[in-house]
Amino acid sequence: MMNERTMTTNASTGSTNNSYSLFPSPMKSYFLSVLAIIAAAAPAVWLAWLAMSAVGLQGIPLALAAAVLAMILAVAFFAALVAIGRTLKIVK
């Protein structure tokens, strides 16, 4: 079974506007999402590791605490990046 995309039609004129009803380029959306995840995760991991090291943790407790904090920070950074992207109309 194929997933078909249909072009949108102007009801008053009957002409098509040469755009698809789904995202015009789904790969662009996926690519920007991957970039945003990486851009959010990298500083989150670094900051979490620094913060937990500054507290004095070492070894496995450091790794576990940093992982938890990094996930929290990465979600916050990702949400901020998505909000910025929507404000600048880079992503929908």
pTM attached to this predicted model: 0.66
Give dist(CA 31, CA 23) in Å, integer.
Answer: 13
Summarize pLDDT for 40-88 with one digit per residue, the tens. Answer: 999 999 999 999 999 999 999 999 999 999 999 999 999 998 899 889 8
Residue 20, pLDDT above cutoff 50? no
What is the spatial distance between Cα 20 and Cα 51, in angstroms, rounded to a whole number?
47
